[in-house]
Structure 1
Amino acid sequence: MPLSGQKPPARRGLRRAALVTFAAAGLVGGLVAPNMSSATSAPKPRVEDLQLLAINDFHGNLEPPAGSSGTIKEVDPKTGQVVSTPAGGIEYLATALRQAREGQRNSVTVAAGDIVGASPLLSGLFHDEPTIEAMNKLGLDVTSVGNHEFDEGSKELLRMQRGGCHPTDGCYVDGRTFEGADFKYLAANVTSEKTGKPILAPYWIKNVRGVKVGFIGVTLEGTPNIVTAEGVKGLKFGNEVTTINKYAAELKSRGVNSIVALIHEGGYPASSTYNYDCGAAGQGISGPIVDIAKKIDPAVGAIVTGHTHNAYACSIPDPAGNPRSVTSAASFGRLYTEIDLKLDKTTGTIIRPSVTAANHVVRQNVPKAPDMTALIAYYNKLAAPIANRPLGFIGADINGRGSTDFEKPLGDVIADAQLAGLAAKDKGGAQIAFMNPGGIRSDLVYKASGAEGDGVVTYAEAFTVQPFTNMMQVKTLTGAQIIALLQQQVSGLNAAAPKILQSSAGLTYTLDLTKTDAARIVVPSIKLNGTPIDPAASYRVAANEFLAGGGDGFPAFAAGTDKLVGASDLDLFAAYLGANSKAGAPLVVPAQNRITVVGPGSDQD
């Protein structure tokens, strides 16, 4: 039977740690001073307040995320030092949002994509139905799609919206048909190749006590570069700015003059602390969202973003040079953003000087929401026989997502697992294996997550690290193509934000960060088992189907020949843990000696 979805009243308990105010006037002490040049006799506008509560990149993290994925960086007010604070979990997020809504006359809860996809086992095992149910209970009103909403293809995304049991696995909850999302998914820039029309609604209009507020939702134009070809089959992804401006004009023609953009694309703030405000003119943030925000119609009064998993509450100038709110709430439900707007009831517009925004930590020292606790318990009971199965042992944390190094310890382990599983001649004869860093979704944490004991790696924990269950492929690449592949890590689509592949043992090279673009790969240093790569020779190279198809900006993979399809990446990872660790002889943390980095280091998202 369906779990109860009550929304208990809560006190207004979490206050903002930082406040950023956006306006078209000058900045004074970090706040925007109102323009006092107009005549004092001018009538004050009739105003309606609107609270927006925003999240992004939840990725099905119903339970508090493990390892570094479950913390937020903030400044300790007592010491002034940056500390990592435990955060996240739907039980705490629900409480925080319910507290934030208390006493508000008008409140809308929004998201900027990737609510599902790349999810831990508790949600992923059930094709993310638990997360959709949780978001319904949470009171989410509207979200843009993100790239991960397409992990299982557009038909599955439509099922998330409209409901219905999974076409292969059927229904999960006591024979009940999955009812789908109560909230609206928006996909303004995702169109069908056949019809040319958006596959889901481009915008949603909320009537706030007589003032119409429009929400336009888009995902990043480059979604096809970071999703499997099957996931985006039959779809086109339009430019974010062109799309938003098109629908902003359409909304205005319908009398909707208050507009908010929900964009699954983001930026990189100069500080990793959650309440970083980027400066009065947005000088402390870089990345795609900066250029996008500067071109979006000034009629859009606030921009909610995601994708980069960063936290910021910034001001970025619009095309007229006026500051505009641009925010992101990190990821995994560790933060939420509170954006307060004032709506002019006469003109129906957002009063831009009134907009304030701040991120709040979803702290774990508040009461758990009982309905979310019940939902988690229900699905944990269903998942337990699979989730709790032990696979292997580790003697210490092996960081993947939590590592800021180009060569990540868990990346080494995963690449080695793929090579081990595909090296046999009848399995593909792989000599090298590569893993994309973005596909490593968590860390392997030594501390027990349940009753399994410290150091035990369960199937659920392995699934959280490798949730896509991509099928592996082995292809023949020439040495020249391998060199090109390594160069594509730091050039082409990856020039601005390098994606350093995780490579299996035996492949070594030097990454020189004092150089630019492809020259950062020192070609003479590229060796396999101590022997320089021969551009004219052929090598068997393993990668998951996403990478092997040229995803993440690696077209050299797609040029490979003699493809052989192997087991899934998760199966190989599980087999490797079982074969290479046991109680008393755990898997050790790799030495990270495959990539020699010259010059300053740099964080990777």
Structure 2
Amino acid sequence: MKKRRRRAGGRPGVAIGTALCVVLTALVAPNIAGAAGAVPFSGEDPATGTRTVTIADITDFHGHIEHGADVAAAFTLADSHNPDNMVPVSTGDLVGGSPYESAVRQDKPTLDMAKVWGLTVSAVGNHEFDRSVADFNNRVAAPANGIDWLCANVSSANKSATGKLSHVKDYTIRTVNGKRIGFVGALTDALGSVATPQITEDADLSERAVDALNRVAGELKRSGKVDAVVALLHADASAATGLGRDVDLAYTGHTHAVKQGVTDGGAPIYEAGSFGQNMAVQDLIITGHGRHAKVQVADVNLGNGTEATAVPGVLNVEGLDAHPRQAAWMSAGVVSNGSVARSRQLDTKANYAARAGNAVIGTLAPGTNFDKRTSVGHEGSVGMLVADANRESIMRNVYAGTRLPVVGFSNDGSLRTKQLDMDEDGKVTIREVDSLMALQFHAAHETLTGLGLKAVLAQQFHRNDDGELEHRWLGISSNVRYRYVQCGDGGATCTLGDSDGNGNQHTGVKATVGIVDLTIDGRPIADDDLVIIASNSYLLQGGDNYSAFRAGSNYGELEMSYNQPLHEYLAAHPKLSAAVPETGTRA
């Protein structure tokens, strides 16, 4: 067991560690009777005495109901460690970007499963807004789902009875084992880079996340309403370092990583991976009450088939439901609430209901698959495939017969699985396509100048902290070729056309590379040539920080999901092969 005591002064340094391959079982000792488990009642007032409350956190589940029984087993183990004194929580993105089985029913299977787990506290994640802010408020956050959704950095007006997020709270309080735990939530400050402008406007984040968390935590502590505060921040672990001494424990998310750190106030920070494969489990050991309560945090090793990760306090729970070491625990009747069995049944039911997803819509050449990455430094074959499908769809549905060049794009974040043909049987099903492209974007198009297109291509490149050139490849249709030239030698920079944020194109924007020898369909493209761009609504509105797309004109959306062009492309091109030409090469 590893404990953290709050110190009287000083600002501890930050230590963020990413899980690699080190097993730290020996460093996270099992929590046995007499250690920091539940403190039995011995006649003293529970409010003034010492009590232990266990918190178990998942993050970025994203509707992966195939791991739902594992999560149920882990929550049940956490409760058996400290019976009836455990609170399950989520740090956001419980739904959205989900596999077909959950997404096809608008994530109802996931919300039903969360209710089976007993999950009643969650931060709001950006993917909760995938179907719009109004949809989140009316469907995801519907009171019938039983979850208190927390987002303290939403404007006060927006959280009012007439606001667009009237079902969102700054905090919620749970009284457990005689102690009052305040849970405070917030959403990443970078919402604008991971959501459309309309969602960003409707969400109306009016305060920095860390400032909102500190403000609400301080109010709770000073008022004496709570004995401990747990922060749930849907942002990278590093974003929580600015939390002050009123926060006793912080959980983060959003990056799908396993990490740890320490806040400026001395509280531990945990980020527990994604998809229900990891869980962070901690004990809050609380002495006294209100403003004068003393709080210690101890990592918990649940044993029983869970495995340690390289980050103490975060467990690997993948496969826990089927783990052979679970047999004795299961037969002992610990799962008296049946949450594991019911989660398993919900997964089976969802798979059965989604059987239409087994319909084959395309075939691949023998030995072919389309992957997110084919080799280091080159765009992925599945990204190029989607870009080609976008291009063909816009040419057919909007610009039939046009003589203007058409270029397709896709972005890595909009592709949710590692490859197209998940079972590698040479047949592509509805389920495989819709799981690959599970977000709620629309097929979209716009027009850029050749100069604006160069600005988009240049935004794939940046320099890291060591000054080395790094790429974040877009999926680009196979009819494009260009070369790039590094800038910055001797302090010089390149300038390219870009957007001023209002959709007006101008020059003078600094870039890491210059784009030269740009051709489309073998034809050179001049800076003032017009080019039709085909992609998804999120990317063309500047998503993933590709702000240069905002310089486009004639923006329009088709009345179809962004995965529909790929459906149509696969049907029109049987036995596809994955030849991936290099669209961009170094000059």
Q: TM-score, normalised by structure 1?
A: 0.73
Question: Is 1:351 the equivalent of 2:288?
Answer: no
Range with greater deviation from structure 2 (144-153 or 293-302)? 293-302
Taking a change above 3 Å as real, the CA distance of residues 498 and 155 of structure 1, as seen in their structure-2 partners, is farther
Partners of 2:50 and 2:286 within 8 A in 1: yes
Partners of 1:524 and 1:532 within 8 A in 2: no
Structure 1 counterpart of 2:89 = 110
Q: Map 1:459-498; keep pairs closer than 5 Å.
A: 459-490=430-461
Taking a change above 3 Å as real, the CA distance of residues 427 and 138 of structure 1, as seen in their structure-2 partners, is farther
Structure 1 counterpart of 2:538 = 546
Of residues 297, 315, 320, the one that matches 2:261 is: 315
Q: Map 1:289-328; keep pairs closer than 5 Å.
A: 289-290=237-238, 292-312=239-259, 314-319=260-265, 322=266, 324-328=267-271
Partners of 1:190 and 1:236 within 8 A in 2: yes
Aligned partner letter, 2:554: D
Give a deviation string over 1:31-78, Cα, whole Å, max 9, x none: 89xxxxxxxxxxxx9421122111111111112xxxxxxxxxxxxxxx
Q: Map 1:91-110; keep pairs closer than 5 Å.
A: 91-105=69-83, 106-110=85-89
- Structure-2 separation of matches of 1:229 and 1:295: 27
Taking a change above 3 Å as real, the CA distance of residues 263 and 404 of structure 1, as seen in their structure-2 partners, is farther
Partners of 1:144 and 1:263 within 8 A in 2: yes
Once the 2 structures are TM-superposed, how far is the Cα of residue 257 of structure 1 from its aligned partner?
A: 4.0
Taking a change above 3 Å as real, the CA distance of residues 375 and 475 of structure 1, as seen in their structure-2 partners, is same
Once the 2 structures are TM-superposed, how far is the Cα of residue 125 of structure 1 from its aligned partner?
A: 1.4
Taking a change above 3 Å as real, the CA distance of residues 60 and 405 of structure 1, as seen in their structure-2 partners, is farther
Structure 2 counterpart of 1:248 = 217
Give a deviation string over 1:275-328, Cα, whole Å, max 9, x none: xxxxxxxxxxxxxx42x333211221111011111112x232415xx4x31111
Structure 2 counterpart of 1:130 = 109
Once the 2 structures are TM-superposed, how far is the Cα of residue 546 of structure 1 from its aligned partner?
A: 1.2
Q: Map 1:422-571; keep pairs closer than 5 Å.
A: 422-424=394-396, 426-427=398-399, 429=402, 431-444=406-419, 446=421, 448=423, 454-490=425-461, 499-510=472-483, 519-566=511-558, 567-571=560-564
Structure 1 counterpart of 2:333 = none
Question: Is 1:217 the equivalent of 2:210?
Answer: no
Taking a change above 3 Å as real, the CA distance of residues 204 and 510 of structure 1, as seen in their structure-2 partners, is farther
Partner secondary structure for residue 112 of structure 2: helix
Partners of 2:96 and 2:107 within 8 A in 1: yes
Structure 1 counterpart of 2:372 = 400
Aligned-residue identity in percent: 26
Structure 2 counterpart of 1:361 = 316
- Structure-1 separation of matches of 2:141 and 2:557: 34
Taking a change above 3 Å as real, the CA distance of residues 342 and 548 of structure 1, as seen in their structure-2 partners, is same
Once the 2 structures are TM-superposed, how far is the Cα of residue 345 of structure 1 from its aligned partner?
A: 2.6
Taking a change above 3 Å as real, the CA distance of residues 207 and 245 of structure 1, as seen in their structure-2 partners, is same
Of residues 221, 233, 246, the one that matches 1:263 is: 233
Taking a change above 3 Å as real, the CA distance of residues 446 and 549 of structure 1, as seen in their structure-2 partners, is closer
Range with greater deviation from structure 2 (558-567 or 407-416)? 558-567
Give a deviation string over 1:195-217, Cα, whole Å, max 9, x none: 77764111011112332111111
Partners of 2:244 and 2:263 within 8 A in 1: no
Partners of 1:445 and 1:455 within 8 A in 2: no
Taking a change above 3 Å as real, the CA distance of residues 59 and 350 of structure 1, as seen in their structure-2 partners, is farther
Partners of 1:436 and 1:499 within 8 A in 2: no
Partner secondary structure for residue 220 of structure 2: helix
- Structure-1 separation of matches of 2:124 and 2:155: 12
Structure 2 counterpart of 1:231 = 199
Of residues 269, 275, 278, the one that matches 1:335 is: 278
- Structure-1 separation of matches of 2:374 and 2:4: 33
Q: CA RMSD in A?
A: 3.4
Partners of 1:120 and 1:467 within 8 A in 2: yes
Partners of 2:486 and 2:514 within 8 A in 1: no
Once the 2 structures are TM-superposed, how far is the Cα of residue 405 of structure 1 from its aligned partner?
A: 5.2
Partners of 1:132 and 1:160 within 8 A in 2: no
- Structure-2 separation of matches of 1:469 and 1:433: 19
Taking a change above 3 Å as real, the CA distance of residues 427 and 181 of structure 1, as seen in their structure-2 partners, is same
Partners of 1:412 and 1:590 within 8 A in 2: no
Structure 2 counterpart of 1:58 = 61
Question: Is 1:184 the equivalent of 2:148?
Answer: yes
Aligned partner letter, 2:131: E
Aligned partner letter, 1:60: G
Give a deviation string over 1:497-535, Cα, whole Å, max 9, x none: 965321111223456789699543332254434555421
Taking a change above 3 Å as real, the CA distance of residues 327 and 441 of structure 1, as seen in their structure-2 partners, is same
Structure 2 counterpart of 1:411 = 383
- Structure-2 separation of matches of 1:594 and 1:572: 21
Once the 2 structures are TM-superposed, how far is the Cα of residue 354 of structure 1 from its aligned partner?
A: 4.4
- Structure-2 separation of matches of 1:569 and 1:62: 23
Once the 2 structures are TM-superposed, how far is the Cα of residue 334 of structure 1 from its aligned partner?
A: 1.2
Of residues 121, 124, 130, the one that matches 1:142 is: 121
Taking a change above 3 Å as real, the CA distance of residues 525 and 334 of structure 1, as seen in their structure-2 partners, is farther
Partner secondary structure for residue 91 of structure 1: helix
Partners of 2:121 and 2:149 within 8 A in 1: yes
Partners of 1:51 and 1:338 within 8 A in 2: yes
Aligned partner letter, 1:575: E
Partner secondary structure for residue 191 of structure 1: coil
- Structure-2 separation of matches of 1:298 and 1:402: 47
- Structure-1 separation of matches of 2:573 and 2:270: 44
Q: How many residues align?
A: 491
- Structure-1 separation of matches of 2:422 and 2:411: 26
Partners of 2:281 and 2:299 within 8 A in 1: no
